[in-house]
Structure 1
């Protein structure tokens, strides 16, 4: 999620005030939330319809528990992803945009964490019903690991990779004459 504190020299090249930076960062967070929120809404709608299908009555206790847990996780993710709008509304025109950005970024991160579990739970439920419990567990763990890798590990590795690439470029540059 966008969390540009302005502490890095590269960010200073934008020549923007702290409030302009906060406005830009909040706009970026909202764009990110539009993408994730749509996915959560689709997942939530899918889960809501399952309880009203004829097959739902045939689910065993583990499948029902998975369903309820996943449904509640989807609700929590949707709530976390919409909370920045409520925070913004509560602090609107109080010159608190930097605070709104920080809180919204934390809420979005928490939403992504909850969404990982909701996605893994929905995959567990569907694959369990379709092919069996073992397949459901394997697919669910795989889903969780892919999400954790792409949403958690990769974003932490990218700055290191960028620093290494920049260092290699500095080494390979011809010295000034």
Structure 2
């Protein structure tokens, strides 16, 4: 490894870096995919429960929005797999990694919205109390801190070295 490579952390070509980043991205997506698919599967069963017909129209609208958000999150998080299949062997891995990373980011945002609306629906049905929106807002803030705030703080605290 060269002295410059030691300073930058890795001595790898653009293709090697793209390969490494792809593997890391797919590992991350696997975690999110599993969660969103389980949640989405659960959501699909709710409409077939007897209690669904007794939900007030607002709760039914929240349910529909939650299912649509879950479907969109699932699509965005599975998208990188299809992207890889369709562009594999075309020598565009660095570009594919960037696009898949954006799709994953969007998928995680949609997952956040899905989880928030699912929590809103469940707590509204379970409690019928006025504090539910505040509790959901607190949980969303917690997710934003864990998923975005802390990573952005770490990124700012430890910036990447400039490329030469």
Q: TM-score, normalised by structure 2?
A: 0.89
Task: Determine if the alignment matches structure 1 residue 132 to structure 2 residue 128.
Answer: yes
Equivalent residues of 1:127, 1:135 under 8 A apart? no
Deviation per CA, 1:95-126: give whole Å up to 9, x if none: 11101100000000011111111000000000
Q: Distance in 1 between matches of 2:92 and 2:129?
A: 49
Alignment equivalent of 1:150, drawn from 138, 142, 146 = 146
Q: Distance in 2 between matches of 1:92 and 1:19?
A: 13
Match of 1:42 in 2: 38
- Rg larger for: 1
What secondary structure, in the 3-state scheme, does the structure 1 residue paired with 2:131 have? helix
Alignment of 1:1-150 (within 5 A): 12-150=8-146
What secondary structure, in the 3-state scheme, does the structure 2 residue paired with 1:121 have? helix
**Residues 18, 62 of structure 1: CA spacing in aligned structure 2 closer, same or farther, 3 A cutoff?**
same
**Residues 51, 161 of structure 1: CA spacing in aligned structure 2 closer, same or farther, 3 A cutoff?**
same
Root mean square deviation, CA, Å: 1.8
Task: Tell me which of the two structures has the higher relative contact order, counting C-alpha pairs closer than 8 angstroms and 6 or more residues apart.
Answer: 2
What secondary structure, in the 3-state scheme, does the structure 1 residue paired with 2:144 have? helix
Long gaps (5+) in structure 1: 1-8, 164-177
Q: TM-score, normalised by structure 1?
A: 0.82
